[in-house]
Amino acid sequence: MIRFEHVTKRYADGTTAVDDLSFEVAEGELVTLVGPSGCGKTTTMKMVNRLIEPTEGRILVAGKDIAATDPVQLRRRIGYVIQQVGLFPHKTVLENTATVPHLLGTKKAAAHARAAELLDLVGLDPRTYGDRYPDQLSGGQRQRVGVARALAADPPVLLMDEPFGAVDPVVRERLQSEFLKLQSQVRKTVLFVTHDIEEAVRLGDRIAVYGEGRIEQLDAPAAVLGAP
Ligand code: ADP
Ligand code: ADP
């Protein structure tokens, strides 16, 4: 579903953030990208939705070279969740979740009904939380809205960049188990960045272990843990 072919990214200052990277993520697979800060994980992710363009190589999503795909069209098919999700402060939780499908042409009532379902799926009862504003939520609840919103356009691909990184360990643990449950139902193709090896092991079908701009190992959690 996602295929990197000899992808290199050099920034204008000469930093090589990603160096001749080739790998593939199957449809419905969740691959966690794990490694120390500055080794190219975020750069990898942002090239998939064309927030960053590769210097060399190409990236295919669903068999198509994304360089030939309009970035706006591309981003409709790729949900993106970051550490501090930016919700619209003057929209309610329900509206935040429904906005994108509504803008894409789904009728407001249908967009709201779907948003309510998704909020339920991420563990936020829409009857309790739907009418709240983002500043009336905890950090963990805001992250859930971010996940629901990313799923609202029903994208086949999800990019998650330390989505649970800013919440305390107890909440993170709960978000992880809810996300696993959710993923077992929605089966998105997911790239999930974390610097927490435990999170990578818990969530990943496979783990991509990053070193300086490269994937040093890409394997099932048990194989990664068992490595010398
Ligand atoms: P990670 O997500 O693993 O922390 P990044 O992909 O953010 O790593 O960064 C990889 C490398 O590229 C780092 O050395 C970082 O400093 C550098 N880098 C990231 N963004 C830029 C940029 N806009 N300009 C120059 N260097 C950058
Ligand atoms: P329409 O559905 O014809 O756009 P509405 O009366 O539903 O008209 O919307 C009025 C305003 O509220 C519009 O600017 C619209 O973009 C905005 N709006 C409608 N539904 C939503 C939604 N679910 N989330 C955010 N904004 C919305």
The per-residue pLDDT for range 148-205, each reduced to its tens digit, is: 999 998 899 999 999 998 888 888 898 899 899 989 988 999 999 998 999 999 999 9
pLDDT-based confidence at residue 102 (cuts at 50, 70, 90): confident
pTM of the model: 0.85
Amino acid in position 200: A
Interatomic CA distance for residues 77 and 13, integer angstroms: 31
Residue 227 pLDDT: 61
- % of the chain with per-residue pLDDT over 90: 82
- Asked if residues 20 and 57 have their Cβ atoms less than 8 Å apart, the reply is yes
Residue 154 pLDDT: 87
pLDDT-based confidence at residue 28 (cuts at 50, 70, 90): very high
Angle at 77 between CA 73 and CA 82, to 5 degrees: 110
Mean pLDDT to the nearest integer, 132-139:
95
pLDDT-based confidence at residue 53 (cuts at 50, 70, 90): very high
**ipTM, 2 decimals?**
0.70
Protein residue with least CA distance to atom 18, ligand 1:
17
Q: Could you give the 3-state DSSP secondary structure of residue 14?
A: coil
Per-residue pLDDT reduced to its tens digit, 65-99:
999 999 999 998 999 999 888 899 999 999 999 99
Ligand 2 binding pocket, CB closer than 6 Å? 91, 95, 98-99, 102, 108, 111-112
Atom of ligand 1 nearest to the CA of 40: 6
Q: Could you give the 3-state DSSP secondary structure of residue 48?
A: helix
- % of the chain with per-residue pLDDT over 70: 99
